[in-house]
Structure 1
Amino acid sequence: MRHKAIFTVLKRFYPSAGRMAEFSSCKDTIQYHKPRPVVGSVSFFKGVFFVGLCFFLSACSNKSTPKKDEYLLGNQLFKGNSVVKTEALEPLLPQRPNKKFLGIPGATVSLWIYQALDKRYDRDTQRIKFDTLSRYYERQFTRYADDSRKLAALRRKYNRVVNKYRLRIEEGNWGMRTFGEAPVYFSEKNARNNAVKIKGYLVNEGYRDANVEFITDTLFGRIRTTYNIFEGVPHVLRNVDILTHKDAEIDSLLSATKTASYLKSGNNFKYSDVVSEITRVEQLMRNNGYFGFDRNYLRPVQSATGKRNGGFLVDTTGHNPATDSLFHIVDVKGLQINYPRNHDKHTQYTFNPVGFRVESLPGEPPFVVRDTAVYRGIQYSFTPKHYYSPRVLNEKILIRPGNIYRQKDWDETSRQLSVLDQFLFINIDTDTTNGNIKTLIRVIPHDKYQVTGEGGVNVVQNLPGPFLNGTFRVRNIFGRLENFEVSLRGALDANFGLNNNANLVRTLEMGVNTALIFPRFLFPGKMAASFNRKTPRTIVSLGYNYTNRDFLGSDPDFIRSGFQASLRYNWKKSEFEYLSLTAVDLSILQSKQSREFGELLDSLYQYGGNPLKFSFQSAVISSINLSYVFNNNIIGQNRRAHYLRLFAESGGTALSLLEPKKVSLGLEGFELYKFLKTNVEYRRYKPLGPKSTLVYRVNTGLIFNYNDRRVAPYEKSLTGGGSNSLRAWPPRRLGLGSAYPNVDLQTGSPIFRNGETTTLQPGVTQYSGYEYRFEQLGDVLMEANVELRGHLFRFVGDVNYALFLDAGNVWRMRLDKGTSPNQNTLNGVFQFNRFYKEFAVGTGVGLRYDLSYFIFRLDMGIKVYDPSRRFIVTNALGQTTTIDERYLLPKFSFRRSSPNYPVFNIGIGYPF
């Protein structure tokens, strides 16, 4: 028995009496009922602080009142749904209540701004101005009707005027559009349409007897809408047969892939599954020779005699007394496929012949004399200026003469040719006759030479500095689809350096890198050919970098230069999976230090175990690494997504062979590093609304150093803090463990900044923030981040906010045998019995200015818990006092002498 949907709708309002009209489709009478009180919300609004806040903001906003018989849209709730999730129903409601500031109920600040500005805004004046300008342009159009250039310019100006005044009339002035939000009113028609959509969704999910009604309540001038849902019992598939029973060839395809069918016994009978199954059958046919086959052949059509043909044969009359109270039975008895007009079967097509043709560049005359070749049955035709190896092209062309038509081969051929960065235009022309598809792949090549450049500001340790990059590219340099690139980079950075966190130093960086990119794997054997569909790349690179820190000083802290060479293989495993194997990664680094800088690093290493000393020594670093990335997150799309990166690296094993030959090779004095490194990073993106997202991130890393020094290369070390890590700590200054970030080497006392006392003193219980003077290089990294991202307003681009919570730390795994570590250094070593007590915690807020192609980010990090901020002070009598300031949040202040002064991070793009 069908149940009619009952829609309870709002008819009239009586605010003074607190009553509303209710219309029922089951009766022909109109009854008046008092609105039901919203108990939970009322109790919350009774809070003194919140009521005071609301009235204060309301008074400041000078809001205009809604129009007569109009109420603002309040919360929209779902009740009664037990199987279908509320998260699935929320997107069905296109109308959203006005945004609440930071999610505070009732705090619709953007609405108040809009109403305050709207009260003083005169739209009629804008209409009069627009009418006056329109009449002016009409006269100008008549005046210059014979002057096409002048007329075109006038039309462009007029279109700009129309757009400008349309915004002013429809959406208000600049302040209303940028900082405000127009009121969203409750609409009975919208609520009724929403109920219909919800019912349609339930029917699609298999609840074909579902009913939906809505009721409303008034609260503080807003209407809360509750959608009461009756799901009913589902319609469940019992017997499923998807064969046609008419076409043996098609039946064999459907039978062989039956396990992939979306229609499975025991599942709810969903219309979405029927659509998915139609799509699957369509793709199956098109990938097995049936060129031109589409879903229209699977849709029910009515013949001239009134007979229904096409589609799935569905029987809903199934009956089983034992289960009828739990679900209704649905049987699928087969699939009817329609045929082309005047045909009684579908034709399978074969590619024959197949050609590849390079066309002339735009503006060039057609070439009469062309180079031609035949390779593996494909006819190639090239212009004298653009020849490509047929053997290499053959690896990218999956359309083969004599093979049956497959849509996936067609699509993959187009994709493979597109990613080569060789062709400006690609088109596949076809002509069908007698079961054959005559195929011609036509391409227009890119320019052989290309020069690109970019300049801007780079942010290092939150301080901006200019940079300039340039790239020179030569395409198809050897005629085998290779690309050769030369990249130049120069940058001038201002940062705090390593030897003094208070004074700025200038760092000059310059570099050149060359890369030869092959569109295939360069290694012998047939294994390379199996990767042809996976977009393989082989990249051979050679580069040189030069760094001069404090290059304008009389004696630079250090000058570091080095050569790098690598051999890397990249390929795409699937749509969202990427792998990279670096078979060779070799760096030869040379470094010179000032005497003062070197003495400082020596003392830090000898008495504190800090391995920074080795970061500025000449070294040979060799490694092999493998990385795997899964990423289905698309920037700009707010949807559920995941990111996973797995990384493993082995360094220095082959360098053991160089140890006895260092002198003969000119490598005397060069450090040889041996290490194993692994890193795992996972991110999850969870939408909370149309413009809000919750992002989770976990990042862990481990380095095991088995060289004599037990330290890793500077470039391979793990660090924490900064704009992509724990943002309440300066970049690369987090940790180690519960150790102080900087100590007096004589007393072991922590060093503070901007305070009356810079070290621990007897009788002093209040200290300023730490002096984060040196980078903290670790072997173990654990960190986790949670960030809520939302939208504030639009000003040319989107201005977004972020609320975040970061936790984690960095530790040394073991210390060098040649050091004499103090207790503070030992506190930075990873120990299983206490590492979980040493997680630092920070929180904060951020702003993002999103211009789509560029995202500027500013974050303010505040320390919540610092595991190292626990001191024992001894007075002159030998008495000790313990000062525990690990929970730092109450000490937050914008005073620079505060122990919890915020850390500001500037960045480009999202932190993760």
Structure 2
Amino acid sequence: MALITLLLSGCVGTKQFKEGKYVLYKQKTVAPKSVNKEDLRQQLVQKKNRRLFGLPIFYYAAIYNQGLRNYDSAKYEAKKREIEKKYEAKIEKHVGKQRKINRLTTRRDNKLAKQDNILRNGNMFMRWGEPLVYFDSTQTALSVQNIDSYLISKGWFNASSGYTVRYFQKRAYVSYVSKPGTPYKIDSVYYSIKDPRIDSLVSNREDKILAKNQQYDQAKLVQERNSIETLLKNNGHFSFSKQYIRYEVDTTMGNHKVAVKMSIPLPPGETAHPYYVIDSVIFTTDASIQNSLNRKRITFPYEGVTYRYFDRQYSKKVLNRRIFVKPGLLYSKESTISTQRELANMDIFQFVNISYDTTGGKFITNIFTSPLSKYQFSSETGLSVTSYGLPGPFISASVKKRNIFKRLGVLNIDGHVGIEGVAAASNPENLYTIEAGANVGVTFPQFFLPFSDETKLRLGLFDPKTQIRIGGTYTKRPEFERTILNGTNSYSWKTNTNKQFRFNLFDINLIRTPFISDDYQKRLDELDSLGNNLKNSFDDALVTSFSLTYIYNNNYYGLGHVGRYFSASIEPGGIFNDLWTSTKFVNRDSLQLYTFVRLQADYRQVTPKGRKGTLAFKAKAGIAIPFGDEDVLPYEKYFFGGGSTSVRAWKPRRLGPGSYNHIDESGEVSYQYEQQGEVLLETSIEYRQKIIGFLQGAAFLDAGNVWTLREETARPGAQFKFDKFIRQIALGGGFGLRFDFSFLLIRLDAALKLVDPARPLGSRFILENGFNSPPYDDKSRTEPFVIHFAIGYPF
């Protein structure tokens, strides 16, 4: 109710506007297509008031006004004096007790800082909201100056801009009109570099940013300056600064042409810019450890690196593969950063610092690290969230041991027990699943493959890791119990900070299903009699596969930039079944074997919209192709639609396949059973906006479905066909709330079906008759809204 009250109070009427003032209601920029309109909008000094989901109400101004009505600066000043007086008396009582005085002083300062924040920025509602923005001609004139300055920086040296204002019902509508004229282009680029070595480096580089016939752009001059500085710092010029790089732009050539001259003078009193070759590398592996026993650190030279430590702990061969600054090499900022990053990625050191010493005519690299604790224990209790169910309680614990065998490996032992809110496959009202598991894994910062030492040294740049992991999982659902013993051997590496690869050399799963309920067995038998061999997925089985996964992530989410994520994987299964079943540990006759290929791709993008909004998009596709006589997949390899991170208008795993519908005794479409498929297409779009404080709102549309690769008698309409699949796309939409507590985001979504492919053609758009037909009429037993409670964003 409090939220509804706030929403209803969001309309600030014109009667509340200041007399003689006009609220800045709309601003638009008018310019030719060659000008970036978004860049022009960034030059505007005044920003109009935000609106909730674009609605024509001043919601945030209403919140601010609510806070302003209860704001009294004199009250907060008096509160400050009261706090100071109170703590002054407390401190006087504890004279001579410094620790107690320090605690009281800290507590006093925190409370005073809170009052100062209110005096500076207003109370909570004032900080959550914003004051009404009134049209200000002075600010508008500054905006015009900013626009002209921007256009000039982009090469429109004769640009001219102005503005017009239209007043209507105490609102101001401002239009900024720009006439940029003809842009100036670069006729030639000249270099005047006094240092021959630098001249050679700059002249011979391939990634030149400035070019002839390019439109003049001041930002490109800045990029060129930064690029040259980076080039020189990667070629020995440790002390070089971009302040040495200067530009002169000649605009007097005529014909809208400019000449750009770049110069790099010599340092005062010098004949050249100094560059440095590394004389020695000193690596102190335990820099934070204090020498309490008057011991001296051991000094041990190894392949160009001098190691210093109190106790020998680490493999120098492995560490050397992560060090890219070596004696005899030119100083390189890039190599320095790579060394720091790769040493930090090992999960062995608490910090990694690299500094350079130029005293005494030498150029010495000093690497300082401090070890993390050898043993680390953690435990956690909370709610587990899956993509296909409701949160449930869990408890987990893990033990980590670092630097096993003194080869910088990390041993992990972890276990968990939890209850998840996963709907039963035969009864969606039965919402519990118990799952327990334990794993033992070891990760080494190198590849255990027959590569040469030189190759392994080069691979050190890519954060190589080898992981061996074994574990087991026990799952108890109302319709079956399942145990899985798993073993994997994987290799991962990164080509840069955004791109990662993972290769699973083998992934072995021994699956047993000791219990299937009578009702679910009956359902499986019914499907089997109609040609659907899902029943075979519950036989005791051996599932073997290897896989390759590629991940791209620009890590810009929430940083005011467009964030992108993409992953793609290919997983062939059962190729080496004969190899595994030839061992004495596996009885081929008692196990179901699978042969398949599974491919999947997932793309996500988050785009900032305005000051407090974001537009999120997801597209996902997958196909799993079974081979062999059984023509069936392991149950875990199927695709499912519906759920909190899928098409949210359907309950978990209840969407599809295709246009198949299961009609219950009442004649309605039933979503009682899980529906697996071998083809997945899915997309979502969601607009998110901050409402107030930690509360965000969202509006979303989800579309997608799953299909089978072959026609099934048991599920007519399930097969994927190119001429039909578009009409079988399910569509759902809804609204949601996100409670963002920084360390935790709780999500509540309410979704309704808009297009249901399980219904006959011509009646799939459910809202065609409003809320007077199933699943929304009073007689229907289907819930009109599907509610999802989850942790974290859906994508």
The question of whether the paired residues in 1 share the 8 Å contact of 2:641 and 2:647 is answered with: yes
> Matched residue of 1:582: which SS?
strand
The question of whether the paired residues in 2 share the 8 Å contact of 1:863 and 1:900 is answered with: no
* Alignment-derived partner of residue 670 in structure 2: 771
Question: 5 Å matches for 1:794-833?
Answer: 794=693, 798-814=694-710, 821-822=712-713, 825-833=715-723
The question of whether the paired residues in 2 share the 8 Å contact of 1:866 and 1:888 is answered with: no
Question: 5 Å matches for 1:434-453?
Answer: 436-453=362-379
* Alignment-derived partner of residue 40 in structure 1: none
> Matched residue of 1:587: which SS?
strand
* Alignment-derived partner of residue 15 in structure 1: none
71-80 or 430-439: which moved more? 430-439
Query: Is 1:911 equivalent to 2:794 in the alignment?
Result: yes
> Matched residue of 1:350: which SS?
coil
CA distance in 2 between counterparts of 1:69 and 1:835 reads 60
CA distance in 1 between counterparts of 2:73 and 2:428 reads 60
Q: 1:205 aligns with which of 134, 154, 158?
A: 154
CA distance in 2 between counterparts of 1:535 and 1:145 reads 55
The question of whether the paired residues in 2 share the 8 Å contact of 1:286 and 1:407 is answered with: yes
Query: Is 1:603 equivalent to 2:521 in the alignment?
Result: no
> Matched residue of 2:213: which SS?
coil
Query: Is 1:241 equivalent to 2:190 in the alignment?
Result: yes
CA distance in 2 between counterparts of 1:173 and 1:255 reads 59
String of CA shifts for 1:262-292, please: whole Å, max 9, x gaps: 2111112222111111111111111111111
* Alignment-derived partner of residue 403 in structure 1: 329
The question of whether the paired residues in 2 share the 8 Å contact of 1:895 and 1:901 is answered with: no
Question: 5 Å matches for 1:858-873?
Answer: 858-870=748-760
CA distance in 2 between counterparts of 1:199 and 1:507 reads 64
1:854 partner letter: L
CA distance in 2 between counterparts of 1:412 and 1:221 reads 59
* Alignment-derived partner of residue 242 in structure 2: 295
CA distance in 1 between counterparts of 2:306 and 2:172 reads 71
Structure 1 residues 87, 367: closer, same or farther in 2, change over 3 A?
A: farther
> Matched residue of 1:516: which SS?
strand
The question of whether the paired residues in 2 share the 8 Å contact of 1:485 and 1:514 is answered with: yes
> Matched residue of 1:559: which SS?
strand
String of CA shifts for 1:307-346, please: whole Å, max 9, x gaps: xxxx134322213xxxx2xxx211124x322333321101
The question of whether the paired residues in 2 share the 8 Å contact of 1:459 and 1:907 is answered with: yes
1:255 partner letter: S
Deviation at 1:252, TM superposition (A): 1.1
The question of whether the paired residues in 2 share the 8 Å contact of 1:614 and 1:714 is answered with: no
> Matched residue of 1:826: which SS?
coil
Quick check: which has more Rg, 1 or 2?
Answer: 1
Query: Is 1:475 equivalent to 2:402 in the alignment?
Result: yes
* Alignment-derived partner of residue 572 in structure 1: 494
Question: 5 Å matches for 1:108-119?
Answer: 108-116=58-66, 118-119=68-69
Q: 2:53 aligns with which of 98, 102, 110?
A: 102
* Alignment-derived partner of residue 3 in structure 2: none
Question: 5 Å matches for 1:513-532?
Answer: 513-526=439-452, 527-532=455-460
What TM-score does the superposition give when structure 1 sets the normalisation length?
Answer: 0.80
Structure 1 residues 408, 64: closer, same or farther in 2, change over 3 A?
A: same
Deviation at 1:355, TM superposition (A): 1.4
* Alignment-derived partner of residue 272 in structure 1: 219
488-497 or 576-585: which moved more? 488-497
String of CA shifts for 1:753-778, please: whole Å, max 9, x gaps: xxxxx333xxxxxx4xx432221111
The question of whether the paired residues in 1 share the 8 Å contact of 2:374 and 2:402 is answered with: yes
The question of whether the paired residues in 1 share the 8 Å contact of 2:556 and 2:564 is answered with: no
* Alignment-derived partner of residue 38 in structure 2: 87
CA distance in 1 between counterparts of 2:395 and 2:779 reads 34
Query: Is 1:584 equivalent to 2:510 in the alignment?
Result: no
* Alignment-derived partner of residue 716 in structure 1: 637
CA distance in 1 between counterparts of 2:677 and 2:212 reads 55
* Alignment-derived partner of residue 22 in structure 1: none
Deviation at 1:196, TM superposition (A): 2.4
* Alignment-derived partner of residue 72 in structure 1: 23
Query: Is 1:640 equivalent to 2:562 in the alignment?
Result: yes
Deviation at 1:537, TM superposition (A): 0.9
String of CA shifts for 1:529-568, please: whole Å, max 9, x gaps: 4321111111111111112234xxxxxx432212111111
> Matched residue of 1:76: which SS?
strand
CA distance in 2 between counterparts of 1:247 and 1:625 reads 53
Structure 1 residues 360, 313: closer, same or farther in 2, change over 3 A?
A: closer
* Alignment-derived partner of residue 18 in structure 1: none
1:646 partner letter: A
CA RMSD in angstroms, aligned pairs only: 2.8
The question of whether the paired residues in 1 share the 8 Å contact of 2:480 and 2:517 is answered with: no
String of CA shifts for 1:20-56, please: whole Å, max 9, x gaps: xxxxxxxxxxxxxxxxxxxxxxxxxxxxxxxxxxxx9
2:573 partner letter: G
259-268 or 357-366: which moved more? 357-366
CA distance in 1 between counterparts of 2:527 and 2:85 reads 80
CA distance in 2 between counterparts of 1:125 and 1:710 reads 79
CA distance in 2 between counterparts of 1:163 and 1:806 reads 46
Deviation at 1:465, TM superposition (A): 1.6
57-66 or 348-357: which moved more? 57-66
1:332 partner letter: V
CA distance in 2 between counterparts of 1:633 and 1:570 reads 19
Number of matched pairs: 781
> Matched residue of 2:646: which SS?
coil
2:228 partner letter: V
Question: 5 Å matches for 1:505-516?
Answer: 506-516=432-442
* Alignment-derived partner of residue 543 in structure 1: 471
Unaligned runs of 5+ in 2: 1-6
CA distance in 1 between counterparts of 2:237 and 2:94 reads 55
* Alignment-derived partner of residue 670 in structure 1: 591
The question of whether the paired residues in 1 share the 8 Å contact of 2:287 and 2:368 is answered with: no
Structure 1 residues 793, 652: closer, same or farther in 2, change over 3 A?
A: same
* Alignment-derived partner of residue 353 in structure 1: 280
CA distance in 1 between counterparts of 2:683 and 2:604 reads 10
CA distance in 2 between counterparts of 1:369 and 1:609 reads 77
Structure 1 residues 609, 207: closer, same or farther in 2, change over 3 A?
A: same
* Alignment-derived partner of residue 455 in structure 1: 381
Query: Is 1:736 equivalent to 2:619 in the alignment?
Result: no
The question of whether the paired residues in 2 share the 8 Å contact of 1:862 and 1:900 is answered with: no
Deviation at 1:129, TM superposition (A): 3.4
Deviation at 1:125, TM superposition (A): 5.6
The question of whether the paired residues in 2 share the 8 Å contact of 1:739 and 1:827 is answered with: yes
Unaligned runs of 5+ in 1: 1-55, 299-310, 551-556, 743-749, 752-757, 761-766, 816-820, 872-882
> Matched residue of 1:351: which SS?
coil
Deviation at 1:221, TM superposition (A): 2.1
String of CA shifts for 1:141-170, please: whole Å, max 9, x gaps: 995795555554454344344344445555
CA distance in 1 between counterparts of 2:71 and 2:197 reads 72
What TM-score does the superposition give when structure 2 sets the normalisation length?
Answer: 0.92
Question: 5 Å matches for 1:595-634?
Answer: 596-597=518-519, 599-634=521-556
Deviation at 1:138, TM superposition (A): 8.5
Q: 2:181 aligns with which of 229, 232, 243?
A: 232
> Matched residue of 1:198: which SS?
helix
Question: 5 Å matches for 1:284-323?
Answer: 284-298=231-245, 311-319=246-254
String of CA shifts for 1:162-212, please: whole Å, max 9, x gaps: 34444555555545545x443223333432332222222112111222223
Structure 1 residues 908, 367: closer, same or farther in 2, change over 3 A?
A: farther
Deviation at 1:888, TM superposition (A): 4.3
1:904 partner letter: I
> Matched residue of 2:224: which SS?
helix
* Alignment-derived partner of residue 305 in structure 1: none
* Alignment-derived partner of residue 759 in structure 1: 666
Structure 1 residues 264, 65: closer, same or farther in 2, change over 3 A?
A: same
CA distance in 2 between counterparts of 1:395 and 1:501 reads 54
Structure 1 residues 113, 627: closer, same or farther in 2, change over 3 A?
A: same
String of CA shifts for 1:473-494, please: whole Å, max 9, x gaps: 1111111111111111111234
Structure 1 residues 127, 399: closer, same or farther in 2, change over 3 A?
A: closer
